[in-house]
Amino acid sequence: MSMADSRRWLRRARRAFTRIQQFRPLQVPDAPAQPARDPWPGDATEGARLVKGELNVAGTIRPLRPGGWNQLTGQAMTRAAAHDFTWLRDLRALGTDAARGRARTLVADWIGTQHADPLSERPDVVGGRITAWLGHYDFFAASADDAFRKKLMSRVAADAVTLAAALPAEELDARALTALKGLIAAAVALPDHPALLTRALRFLPQEIARQVLPDGCHVERSPAVQLGALKDLIEIRSLLQSINAAQPAPIGSAIERMVLGIRTLRHGDGGLALFNGSKEESPELIDLVLTQAGRSGRAPVLLADGGFYRLAAGRSLLIVDAGVPAPRGLDRFAHAGTLSLELSVGRERLIVNCGAAPAASEAWRDALRATAAHSTLVIADVNSSELAPDGLGRRPEKVEVERQEASGAHWLETSHDGWLKPFGAIHRRRLYMAESGEDVRGEDAIEAAMPQAFTIRFHLHPAVTASLQQDGEAALLRLPSGSGWRLRAEGARMTLEESIYLGTNEARRAEQVVLSGYADGPQQVKWAVSKVG
């Protein structure tokens, strides 16, 4: 028996022992003892899609119909999203009798199905499903017949026992918080079984300590994951408050710190920066999350532990990923985007990363994880981190940063060693933002014994129009508001090429400014983005 097999056997044995010792068959009430309404808004458009038998997961559409649970296809993220029932909030947002009927039909069909996909029983999926069923109970179950409600509550109780015995979850990332949230929701609904809450509170503090860095950045270094984890903690706090349970000390502090982290990673349009598997997300949802979180403050200029830096002056905002990628086992959404940047002006995005398609095919997903899909330098079309199906292989081990500020102007000097093994090369990026915010300058350099061919890419938001000027030595960038910006460079050839943008669930055509260097040419490029007029 291998070491991995031994660990799996011991885990199964521990779960079975825990189930026998602590969790006898639960008495099942006719309804939840406490209401636990889901606090987040749904999308009525997506609800209408669900009524027609389709589920949208991060822009990837899959059929979702009664009798089709064992025919679900696609990435694990897509299948897990089907089984966790979080999409019930979209049917609730639609609010029609057809939506309520579809919710009831799918829940009953799921309960009556023997599921072949082990993802349906993964702790975070079970936790999400329990929370969704209880959080939408008033919408689809309260008016149902006695038989339906009895089956629903029986399954909630059975899943709660399974989930309690499965803790601590093998997934050490944000999914562990979702699993704990589900167990706490079940404990609130089934107060006659205090062992459920005791077990959840045993593991909650250590999960918070592992996942929330001192600066408030989530350990996975993904703005989207950060938002999701913050939502889970807010729900956990609310559930505990609903039964006047003592709050573990780390919850309040973690929520306060994560709020500041979200503010750091937010552009002027209210959406998130596009790093490590993130999309913009709804500004209204982000506002609601921050309001529900409570205390807030100004966005910090950096997340030192997470490795994100925020340079703001005038109406301009530059957000830079200058951190080591997330550790192995916590890098499921990690991109090869070290030292990439995004620039926005007021509520308009100018320079972006391409976004993400975490639920799409592996080839499409990896195309957006590649270094070339980010606004940074690429050596010889080789990614700065090696892409693997569940994370990263080779990656930068050392990222150095020095930040200075004086009289409202900002300097950021950074470097990483992601290409040290394949090319013996270090990438250095220097950034400057003037106090007006209307002059942003950069310098990208490669330090290597042998000169390398390289490109520097500036992906533009789809709303930006671009044209080459001055014999290809500059590009004029025009924002929808009419504001003009000029991108100039020296030390490389400038071209304008096609790009794509998946900052939302809809893929949009875009453009990119590409600066191409040569293996026998200078290993340094100076560039500037300045306002015109």
Q: What is the 3-state secondary structure (H, E, C) of 118-167?
A: HHHHCHHHHHHHHHHHHHCHHHHCCCCCHHHHHHHHHHHHHHHHHHHHHC
d(CA 64, CA 56): 10
3-state SS assignment for residue 532 = strand
- H and E: helices and strands count for the chain: 15, 21
Mean pLDDT of 445-474: 93
pLDDT per residue as tens digits for the range 89-133: 999 999 999 999 999 999 999 999 999 999 999 999 999 999 999
pLDDT at 19: 45
Torsion angles phi and psi, residue 467, rounded to 5: -150, 145
The answer to whether 528 touches 485, Cβ cutoff 8 Å, is no
pLDDT at 21: 43
Mean pLDDT of 459-476: 93
Identify the CA nearest to 198 among candidates 235, 245, 238.
245
Q: Indicate the pLDDT class of residue 429, thresholds 50, 70 and 90.
A: very high
pLDDT at 26: 67
d(CA 507, CA 365): 13
List strand residue ranges (DSSP E) for 266-367, in order: 302-303, 308-313, 316-321, 341-345, 348-352
CATH match for 302-532 among 2.70.98.70, 3.40.50.720, 1.20.1530.20, 3.30.870.10: 2.70.98.70
Query: What residue ranges do the domains of the chain occupy?
Result: 3-211, 302-532
pLDDT at 511: 98
The answer to whether 160 touches 198, Cβ cutoff 8 Å, is no
* pLDDT higher than threshold 60 for residue 22: no
d(CA 239, CA 247): 10
d(CA 530, CA 204): 48
List strand residue ranges (DSSP E) for 338-434, in order: 341-345, 348-352, 377-379, 387-388, 391-392, 399-406, 409-416, 426-433
pLDDT per residue as tens digits for the range 269-285: 999 999 999 999 999 99
Amino acid identity of 373?
A: A
Amino acid identity of 49?
A: R
Task: Tell me the pLDDT of the chain averaged across its residues.
Answer: 93
- How many residues comprise the chain? 533
Q: Indicate the pLDDT class of residue 4, thresholds 50, 70 and 90.
A: very low
pLDDT at 169: 77
Mean pLDDT of 242-248: 92
pLDDT per residue as tens digits for the range 477-509: 999 999 999 999 999 999 999 999 999 989 999
Which 8-state DSSP code applies to residue 222?
A: -
Which structure tokens are listed for 112?
A: 């009556």
Identify the CA nearest to 192 among candidates 32, 38, 37, 17.
32
3-state SS assignment for residue 241 = helix
* pLDDT higher than threshold 60 for residue 419: yes
Q: Indicate the pLDDT class of residue 20, thresholds 50, 70 and 90.
A: very low
Q: Indicate the pLDDT class of residue 349, thresholds 50, 70 and 90.
A: very high
Cis peptide before 168 (omega within 30 of 0): yes
Mean pLDDT of 12-27: 52
d(CA 213, CA 209): 7
* pLDDT higher than threshold 70 for residue 139: yes
Say what the pTM is. 0.94
pLDDT at 140: 97
The per-residue b/e assignment along 274-304, b for 16 or more CB within 10 angstroms, e otherwise, is bbbbbbbbbeebbebbbebbeeeeebbebbb
pLDDT per residue as tens digits for the range 143-201: 999 999 999 999 999 999 999 999 987 777 999 999 999 999 999 999 999 999 999 99
pLDDT at 15: 52
